[in-house]
Structure formats: C-alpha cells, structure tokens
Amino acid sequence: MELRHLRYFAAVAETCHFGQAAAQLHVAQPALSYAIRQLEAELDVPLFTRTTRRVTPTTAGEYLYTEVQRILGSVDDAVRGVRRIAAGRSGLVRLGLTGTAAFSHLPRIVRAVNRELPDVGVAISADMLTPAQCDALRSGATNLGLLRPPSVGEDIEVRTLDSEQLVLAVSADHRLAVEPVVSMTDLRNESFVMYGSRDSAVNEAVLRSCRAADFVPRRDHEAPGTAVLLALVAAGLGIAVVPASVRSLPIEGIVIRDLVDAGSVELALARRASEDNPVVDAVIGVIEAEFASVSGDLL
C-alpha cells in the first residue's frame, strides 16, 4: 500500500467524484481510477459504490477514510516536525551554566529562546565550573555551556558573550564592609576563599589582580561552587574576589564592594566544535543577538 494511494483515496472520498478528485490532485482521471482499483484489489474490499451519477464510500470505505485522515495527518505532522528540526526551529538544547550565570544571564537567555524559538526546549544544568562543563560538552551531556574561558581540553569552541568586573565579597561584620572604596592592596593581609578547581578561570583572574598589586593571596579555604564560596564568606572564614554577577545572589550576611583596580573575567558561550546540530546553531544565534548590544560583535 503506497502513501500516494491513500491520498488518492482520501480525495475521492472527500469529493465523491473522480473527476473533481483528479483535478484536485492534478492527475489524469484514468490514472486515479486505476489507483483506486489497485487499492481495492490489495485490500480485497470495495471502497466505493459507483453509479452513473454518484460515487459514495462503502461502509468499509467510510472506516478507511477515518483512518486515512489520521494517518495522513500524522505523516504531515512528521514532515513538518522533521523540517522544523532541520531548520533549527524545534528540539531540545541542554545548557550548562557556571555559578551566578544562572541568576544574572539565564533568565534573559530563556526569555529570548522562548520568544524566537517557541518550539525549542532548554534543559538546565546549573553551577558547573568550566572544566566540568567542557567534559559535559565532549560527552554530549550538554549541548551548550555558559562558562568562564579559557576552555579546558580539546574540541571546544568558545564565543565571548560578556565581560564582568571583579568585585569584593565580605561578611557584613568585616572591616571592609563599611569602606566606600576598596583596592586590591587593601586585601594584602586577608584570608581568601577561592574555588577548589585548579582550572578555575575566576581564580586565575584573581591571582593576576593580586600579582598586579604585588602580593600573593593567602588561600585559606576552597569551595566547589559559588553558593558554597559565598556561604563561607558570610560565615567570616575569609573574603572573596568574584565576578560582579554575584550581586544577583542575595545571600544574607554578605556585602559586595567594588574594587577600583581589580581585573575582569569573561563569560562565554561554548559548544563542542565537532557537533553538527541545527537546533544548537539556532539557539546560539538567538543568544548572540540578545547579548550583541552588551558585547558588540561576537567571535
């Protein structure tokens, strides 16, 4: 049974006229009549009662017409779905995020994707440091990552999305909490809370800023992620120099102060370089367009 035969049958059942059905299908009437006879022979059932004036479906034909409508509808839906996926307009993208990006950037990303690609879903894996994100991209656990460059390992393509100044996080009762202006030299004798990963891009940016102020930070405590890091700071176990997006994390007992001479750290969109996925391409395009006004032309 060919799909073409089902479409021919549906046209005849709808019009109850071979001539009108043939014109609708843009086929010759004899070819249409022959196709219907083939279908009846294959099913070994008459599908139409034919008179000189009228063609009407038999009881079996009426049942088949109901089923054919469902079948053709499913086929058409499948064709539309395949085309939308191929065009990057439908599917699922798994997105990993580093630290505070879930608060500072994720809402804007999700709103933009929902607006421009309403049939694309976004699954979120939050609070992932850069090394873990690169591993997830290579394994296929995620399709995109919002991370702090540089990337770790091979086969990762990175596009700069934003740049954030480093700021100071201290407990509310810390001596620097009341200072209107703080510089890196003010931190020379402080205990630092830093990320536990040796590949942390934020740690590297903090070390560069400390070296520029002519000291090496005393690293007394480590944290696996931003939430724990800030909790340790709130507990008075040390200070932290972190990206400005921490302001999006309202943690009781934390005060954020600008650092007048600290460096900055980038936030980037990453993907597996070898991945060929039109849905991922479409989502990247939407995110880049959304943040173009912030970072200018992206890499």
Which of 241, 243, 258 has its CA nearest to residue 188? 241
pLDDT over 90 for what percent of the chain? 65
What pLDDT does residue 299 have? 33
Residue 27: partners with Cβ closer than 8 Å, 6 or more residues away: 8
- For residue range 184-196, what is the model confidence (pLDDT) as tens digits? 999 999 999 999 8
**SS3 label, residue 144:** strand
Q: Do domains 3-86 and 164-265 have the same CATH topology?
A: no
For residue 190, the 8-state DSSP code is: P
**Which residue is associated with the tokens 């393509």?**
157
Alpha carbons 229 and 225: distance in angstroms, whole number: 6
Q: Kindly state the helix (H) or strand (E) to which residue 85 belongs, with its residue range.
A: helix 59-86
Residue 160: partners with Cβ closer than 8 Å, 6 or more residues away: 149, 266, 267, 268, 295, 298, 299
> At residue 292, what is the residue type?
A
Alpha carbons 95 and 133: distance in angstroms, whole number: 9
Count how many Cα atoms sit within 13 Å of the Cα of residue 191 in the half-sphere of its side chain. 12
Alpha carbons 273 and 267: distance in angstroms, whole number: 18
Domain ranges of the chain: 3-86, 91-161+267-293, 164-265
Which of 207, 173, 168 has its CA nearest to residue 186? 168
Which residues of the chain are modeled with pLDDT < 50? Answer: 294-299
What pLDDT does residue 295 have? 44
- For residue range 274-285, what is the model confidence (pLDDT) as tens digits? 888 889 999 999
Q: What Å distances lie between residue 92 and 111, 118, 278, 280, CA to CA?
A: 15, 11, 11, 9
Q: Quick one: tokens of 37?
A: 């006879």
Whether the CA torsion 21, 24, 29, 32 is positive or negative: it is negative
Question: How many CB atoms within 10 Å of residue 50?
Answer: 12
What pLDDT does residue 212 have? 96
Count how many Cα atoms sit within 13 Å of the Cα of residue 113 in the half-sphere of its side chain. 26
**Which residue is associated with the tokens 């004798």?**
189
For residue 25, the 8-state DSSP code is: H
Q: Quick one: tokens of 70?
A: 């469902």
**Thinking of the domain 91-161+267-293, which architecture would CATH place it in?**
3-Layer(aba) Sandwich (3.40)
For residue 166, the 8-state DSSP code is: E
Segments in 87-189 forming alpha helices (H): 101-104, 106-116, 130-139
Q: Just give the CATH number of 3-86.
A: 1.10.10.10
| Domain 164-265 bears CATH identifier 3.40.190.10 | yes
Alpha carbons 142 and 280: distance in angstroms, whole number: 11
